[in-house]
């Protein structure tokens, strides 16, 4: 696992957008796994700026969704499908035909989960999966104590996550209790995992992810099992890392050609 400490969220966004742009130059039809939440927005803004300036071409890029609320229709403004259309696909000039995601309104949710998991494999797998992290260490919507080998399935949100996500809804009663999420085992199949965490509120979760034991109680700690995982954190999110100075020194001395 590589930990990169950046001065602020904007720098983190630029660094990760750079890695995505490099990937798209190498593999124009790369499958990018994207996350929702506030944290990844600087990544999408920086990548969209590269698209506008012509330094990267997204005409063949493909986008895969990480998780979804159960019961919100695709056109609900807070369904993750809508959020991704607004915040990722439109700014990057990518059409819905290049998008894949689970159906949160399927009558048979379990079958929809299994179908989506299979579709990811059939599409050749995710090349780069961008992840945020919940204050409780969740990735996607894999809440604490999720199986570390789980596949895409339905999960129940913790009250903490519902409270954290209530800001996107008029009131907390509108936040669904159930969600579909790529499982931790599914996420670990992506070729490169990039987790971005910013702000002091994520410092405990980041410390548990990077320096704690691999444990289902902190789902993001499963990144320790991945051969190519990059954790990008700002100073505030890095504030509880014991090895922060080591991570800084390692990154400063890294040859440019290596990328992240
Ligand atoms: N399902 C999403 C996660 O994918 C995201 O990482 C998390 C943190 O969001 P934020 O980045 O807004 O703190 O929120 C939601 O629960």
* Ligand 1 mean position, distance from CA 163 (Å): 12
Closest ligand 1 atom to residue 38 Cα is: 12
Ranges of each domain in the chain: 2-254
pLDDT of residue 66: 98
Topology of the domain comprising 2-254: Rossmann fold (3.40.50)
Ligand 1 residue neighbourhood (C-beta within 6 Å): 35-39, 66-67, 132-134, 140-141, 161, 165
pLDDT digits (tens, 9 = 90+) for 31-48: 999 999 999 999 999 999
Establish whether 67 is a catalytic residue.
yes
pLDDT band at residue 61 under the 50/70/90 scheme: very high
ipTM above 0.90, yes or no: yes
Token duo for residue 139: 């990735």
């Amino acid at each position: 696992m590589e930990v990169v400490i950046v001065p602020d969220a904007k720098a983190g966004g630029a660094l990760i957008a750079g890695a995505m742009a490099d990937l798209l130059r190498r593999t124009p039809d790369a499958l990018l796994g994207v996350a929702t939440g506030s944290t990844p927005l600087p990544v999408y803004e920086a990548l969209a700026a590269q698209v506008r300036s012509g330094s990267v071409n997204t005409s063949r890029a493909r986008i895969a969704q990480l998780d979804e609320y159960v019961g919100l229709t695709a056109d609900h403004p807070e369904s993750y499908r809508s959020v991704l259309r607004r915040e990722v696909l439109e700014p990057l000039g990518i059409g819905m035909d290049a998008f894949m995601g689970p159906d949160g309104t399927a009558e048979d949710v379990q079958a929809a989960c299994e179908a989506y998991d299979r579709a990811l494999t059939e599409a050749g797998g995710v090349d780069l999966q961008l992840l945020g992290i919940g204050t409780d260490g969740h990735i996607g919507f894999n809440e604490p104590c999720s199986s570390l080998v789980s596949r895409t399935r339905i999960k129940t949100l913790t009250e903490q996550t519902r409270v954290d996500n209530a800001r996107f809804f008029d009131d907390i009663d509108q936040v669904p209790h159930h969600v579909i999420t790529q499982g931790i085992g599914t996420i670990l199949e992506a070729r490169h995992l990039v987790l971005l965490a910013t702000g002091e509120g994520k410092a405990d979760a980041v410390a548990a992810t990077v320096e704690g034991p691999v444990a289902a109680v902190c789902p993001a700690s499963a990144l320790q099992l991945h051969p190519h995982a990059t954790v990008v954190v700002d100073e505030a999110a890095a504030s509880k890392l014991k090895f922060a100075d080591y991570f800084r020194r390692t990154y400063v001395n890294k040859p440019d050609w290596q990328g992240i």
